[in-house]
Amino acid sequence: MSENLEGNEPVIQPAAVPPANEPAEPLIGSRQGAPRVARSVSSDPEESALPNGSTPTTTRPNVRRTPRARRMSLSLTRVDAWSVAKVSFMLSIAGAIIQIVAAAIVWLLLDAVGVFNQLTQIVSATGLNADFDLKNVLSLTTVVSGMTIFSIVEVVLFTLLTTIIALIYNVVSSLVGGVHLTLGDD
């Protein structure tokens, strides 16, 4: 076995175990009461040297592993009906505001193009009603008020329906185990 060893390779000797009545010495740090120095895991030999100037006897290979994508299989088995009600209420309020603003913008665009005046002229030319004015019948305040009432009804119905759907989903998922999802980490 000694013929395989060359003169420049260090020989590692097993550490001697101190007797039970002698105190053990610290592995890192000086014996003279100097502060302890933390070791670094860097590959730089200056940073990874021990405090007394010696280098460690064993080294780890510097291998970088590429991260693998993780996949998890989960199942959605229960939905909290109260949280569904809150979220659907807020989303339906946002939708109602968008509908009211969109109805006002469409009315203003139709008025700017002159659609109401042309329809009034067409009705007057037929002789059905000479005093008919479509712009007075479908005024901006009438359209916005009607859309607001429609949106309030829509908010209530949408919130109730989504909450009922969440409760039905809880019952069905207790029977069949819910919706199974596979999530991936790219």
The pLDDT score that the predictor gives to residue 35 is 62
The pLDDT score that the predictor gives to residue 113 is 94
Q: Strand pairing partners for 72?
A: 183
Could you tell me what percentage of the chain is helix, strand and coil, using 3-state DSSP and rounding each to the nearest 5? 50, 10, 45
Which segments of the chain have a pLDDT < 70? 1-61, 63, 67, 129-130, 186
Q: What is the pTM of this model?
A: 0.57
The pLDDT score that the predictor gives to residue 116 is 87
The pLDDT score that the predictor gives to residue 42 is 52
User: What are the φ/ψ torsions at residue 75 (nearest 5 degrees)?
Assistant: -130, 135
What gap in Å lies between CA 127 and CA 123, rounded to an integer?
Answer: 7
The pLDDT score that the predictor gives to residue 152 is 97
What gap in Å lies between CA 36 and CA 26, rounded to an integer?
Answer: 10
What gap in Å lies between CA 53 and CA 41, rounded to an integer?
Answer: 16
The pLDDT score that the predictor gives to residue 36 is 62
Give me 54's structure tokens.
């010696």
Query: How many C-beta atoms lie closer than 10 Å to residue 132's C-beta?
Result: 14
Angle between the N-to-C axes of helices 81-113 and 115-126, in degrees from 0 to 180, rounded to the nearest 10: 60
How do residues 7-35 score in pLDDT, each as one tens digit? Answer: 555 556 655 555 555 555 555 544 555 56
The pLDDT score that the predictor gives to residue 52 is 62
What gap in Å lies between CA 186 and CA 68, rounded to an integer?
Answer: 8
Alpha-carbon dihedral 91, 96, 101, 104, rounded to 10 degrees: 160
Reported in sequence order, the residue ranges of the chain that DSSP labels E, i.e. its strands, are: 70-76, 179-185
